[in-house]
Amino acid sequence: MRYKFLPLPPDFDPVDATVDEVAAYRRESRWTVHKKIREGVYRSYLDGRIRKIVFASVMADRERAMSAGLTAKRPAGRPRKAEAPSIAAE
């Protein structure tokens, strides 16, 4: 089952967000947000001592993930081992 992205309200116009806010919005860990900043996926700047992320870059990444069908979900459960043929069945 794939994760379904929720549609945003039409009047949704946020200001630039902190790392914690982006992590909560995208349901990512803070480490993942910082990794995306380092890789250039999210544009950011320092506002005093607080790291702010340009929300347009977060929305662009969300649109890219939606169009590609990418999710952070892995298949449920552990793969089963192939069953060995039973000796008693022979």
How do 50-53 and 44-47 pair as beta strands?
antiparallel
What is the pLDDT at residue 81? 74
Count of residues in the chain: 90
DSSP state string for 43-70 = -EEEETTEEEE-HHHHHHHHHHHHHHT-
At 6-64, the pLDDT tens digits run 666 677 667 888 888 888 888 888 999 999 999 999 999 999 999 999 999 999 998 88
Angle between helices 55-68 and 19-26 (to 10 degrees): 20
Query: Quick one: which of 2, 30, 8, 12 has its CA closest to 42?
Result: 30
Task: Determine if the pTM surpasses 0.85.
Answer: no
Domain spans, the chain: 17-68
Distance from CA of residue 51 to its chain's centroid? Answer: 19
